[in-house]
Amino acid sequence: MINISEIFYSIQGESTYLGLPCVFIRLAGCNLRCSYCDTTYAYERGKDYEINDIICKIKQYNCKLVEITGGEPLLQNEVFLLIDRLVERKFKVLVETNGTVDISKVNDKAVIVMDIKCPSSGESSKVFWNNVFKIKESDEIKFVIGDKRDYNWARKVINEYKLENKTILFSPVFGKLSIKELYSWVLESNIYVRLQPQLHKICNLK
Ligand code: SF4
C-alpha cells in the first residue's frame, strides 16, 4: 500500500520539463518543514492505494509524463516498486525529492529532480550529501533561493561538489525574491545554471 495525498493532472511547473502536461502523484508525509512550504496539507495522512489502483487511475489522463512528488515520496518503501512498474509501462517518470533521503534505490530510467535545501528553508542541515554523487546525467538538481545568502551558499555547493556539468535549476522563493534580482546575480557571476520561475505558483496552478 502507498499512502497518497492526491493524484491530479496539471502542467509541470518546474524542472526542464516545465510547461508540459503531467500527471502528479503526491505521496503523503514529509520529514521536513521548509519555511516556504506550499503543500503543508501533504504532511497529513492521505488515502491508501494499491500500486495497480494508482496505475489504473493515472491511465485515465492519457498522459505519458508522470511526476512522483510529496511531501517526501521516498519515505515510503513501496514507492520504488511503483516507479519500477511505471517505467515498465513506458511512462516518463520524474521523481521530485527533497534531497534528504537516499536516492540509490530509484529506478535508473526515472529522472530525479533533487532539491538541495538552502539555508533560508530552515532545513539545509538535513541534506543527505551522498546523494550528490549518485545523480545521473539525466537527473536535475534544484536550488530554491530566498536571498543573497542562499545564492552564495548554492554557488559554494556547486563549486565544492563539482556540479558544474550537471543540470542545475535556480528558482526564487515565490513572494520573497524576484526572478529579476536572481537573474542579475546569475549574469553577474557568469555561472551556467537554468533560471526558472515556479510556474505553478505564478499561474496559481495546482
Ligand atoms: S520538502 Fe517539500 S513538502 Fe516537505 S516541507 Fe519542504 S517544501 Fe514542504
Whether 191 has a pLDDT exceeding 90, the answer reads yes
CB 123 within 8 A of CB 151: no
Kindly report the protein residue whose alpha carbon is nearest to atom 6 of ligand 1: 34
Mutate to test the pocket of ligand 1, among 14, 30, 35 (most ligand atoms within 8 A of CB): 30
Closest ligand 1 atom to residue 98 Cα is: 1
Separation of alpha carbons 95 and 83, rounded Å? 9
Instruction: Give me the CATH code for the 2-202 domain, please.
Output: 3.20.20.70
Q: Is the peptide bond before 146 cis (omega within 30 degrees of 0)?
A: no
Instruction: Work out the pLDDT band at 206, boundaries 50, 70, 90.
Output: low
Question: What pLDDT, on the 0 to 100 scale, is given for residue 43?
Answer: 97
Question: What pLDDT, on the 0 to 100 scale, is given for residue 199?
Answer: 77
Q: Side chain identity at 166, as an amino acid letter?
A: K
Q: Give the pLDDT confidence of 15-61 residue by residue, as tens digits.
A: 999 999 999 999 999 999 999 999 999 999 999 999 999 999 999 99
Kindly report the protein residue whose alpha carbon is nearest to atom 7 of ligand 1: 37
For residue 48, give the C-alpha cell: 491508501
**N- to C-terminal Cα distance for the chain?**
25
42 within ligand 1 shell (Cβ under 6 A): yes
Beta strands at 65-69 and 92-97: parallel, antiparallel or unpaired? parallel
16-19, long-range: CB < 8 A, 24+ apart: 16/140, 16/167, 16/169, 16/194, 17/65, 17/94, 17/111, 18/196, 18/199, 19/199
72 within ligand 1 shell (Cβ under 6 A): yes
Separation of alpha carbons 19 and 136, rounded Å? 23
pLDDT over 70 percentage in the chain? 99
Whether 150 has a pLDDT exceeding 70, the answer reads yes
Once rounded to an integer, what is the mean pLDDT over residues 159-176?
A: 95
Whether 205 has a pLDDT exceeding 80, the answer reads no
37 within ligand 1 shell (Cβ under 6 A): yes
The model's pTM is 0.96
206 within ligand 1 shell (Cβ under 6 A): no
H or E element that contains 48: strand 47-49
Mutate to test the pocket of ligand 1, among 72, 100, 120, 143 (most ligand atoms within 8 A of CB): 72
Q: Give the pLDDT confidence of 64-118 residue by residue, as tens digits.
A: 999 999 999 999 999 999 999 999 999 999 999 999 999 999 999 999 999 999 9
The H-assigned helical ranges of 50-206 are: 51-59, 79-88, 148-160, 179-189, 199-202
User: In the predicted model, what is the mean pLDDT of the chain?
Assistant: 96
Domain range summary for the chain, segments of one domain joined by +: 2-202
Q: Side chain identity at 125, as an amino acid letter?
A: S
Q: Give the pLDDT confidence of 116-135 residue by residue, as tens digits.
A: 999 999 999 999 999 999 99
Question: What pLDDT, on the 0 to 100 scale, is given for residue 82?
Answer: 98
Mutate to test the pocket of ligand 1, among 5, 27, 37, 121 (most ligand atoms within 8 A of CB): 37
| CA 34 to ligand 1 centroid distance, Å | 5
Instruction: Work out the pLDDT band at 202, boundaries 50, 70, 90.
Output: confident
Whether 200 has a pLDDT exceeding 90, the answer reads no
Give the DSSP letter of residue 58.
H
| CA 188 to ligand 1 centroid distance, Å | 30
Question: What pLDDT, on the 0 to 100 scale, is given for residue 198?
Answer: 78
